[in-house]
Amino acid sequence: MGPNNLKQLNRSYQIGFFAFFIFTSTLFSMVILNSSFTFAQSSDKVFSINEKPFGITYGEWTAKWWQWAYSIPVSLNPAYDNTGIHCSINQTSPTWFFPGTYGHDVTRICKIPEGTAILFPILNSECSYAEFPNLKNETQLSNCARDEQDKVSLLNASIDGHKIENLHQYRVQSPLFNFTLPKENILGLYPQNTRVSDGNWVFVKPLSIGKHVISFKGETVDIQDNKTKSFAVPSGWNYNTTYLLTVK
């Protein structure tokens, strides 16, 4: 092989390597941009922890979620609904409340009005004077709820297949709140009570008209205690919940 042929061969190798470098760099950039887009896409669909959706703080909304959940008798309570048939009970605009599931995975089918936000806990906790009679003030209630929520070890949530990142930043503790329990309530307690809650929440902005999927699940460190049937602690609620939504 002559000198000219060697030069041409080296030049061909150089051109090929340069083309390969450009291709791989472009592909890597596309992957990074796509990941960034997916993160932004999922994050843009939820309210941040510092926002006041519809003029109410995140913590106050979580108290409203608990008041809603405890207002419904156990036989009709959406938290124990395996199909979604009860998803609209006691719901009002501008925000609907979705619960998780106890003891097993569940898929619920639900229709919601256009322009409706959705608040759901991945896992949450609350403490009251009735459940913990040794507690004497709001600080002790707050510490109790925090200690229960500290047992959460893993959080997952997605909207339309896009994973929501940094879910630990959406942990919120409610102010002190009161509510009235109905007969056959899910706690089996007397009608009136005072409590504080803590939890990892997702507050979804109103979704576009059409079909959507929301899915979430959390895990706790106290696996041996997961047989508890208490609505007030995260243990036992560490199962996948999926909502197949129609916004109309």
Residues paired with residue 217 on neighbouring β-strands, in sequence order? 156
- The amino acid at residue 93 is S
Give the pLDDT of residue 28.
Answer: 37
Q: Which helix (H) or strand (E) holds 23?
A: helix 3-43
Give residue 33's pLDDT. Answer: 37
| This prediction's pTM | 0.79
Residue 36's H or E segment, with its range, is helix 3-43
Tokens representing 20 are: 């390969």
Give the model confidence (pLDDT) of 29-75 as tens digits. Answer: 333 334 333 334 566 899 999 999 999 999 999 999 999 998 898 88
pLDDT digits (tens, 9 = 90+) for 78-105: 999 999 999 999 999 999 999 999 989 9
Render the burial of 30-42: b for 16+ CB within 10 Å, e for the rest: eeeeeeeeeeeeb
Rounded-to-integer distance, Cα 248 and Cα 152, Å: 35
Q: H or E stretch including 97?
A: strand 95-97
pLDDT at position 1 is 54
- Going by their DSSP bridges, the two strands 117-128 and 192-204 should be labelled as antiparallel
User: Using CB atoms within 10 A of its CB, is residue 244 exposed (0-12), middle (13-18) or buried (19+)?
Assistant: middle
| Tokens (6 digits) for 53 | 């959706």
Among 188, 235, 204, CA closest to 98: 204
Q: Answer whether 191's CB lies under 8 Å from 162's CB.
A: no
Structural tokens at position 19: 């083309």
CA 158 to CA 213: how far, in whole Å? 8
Confirm if 152 and 31 have CB atoms less than 8 A apart: no
- 230 SS3 class: coil
Terminal-to-terminal C-alpha distance of the chain: 74
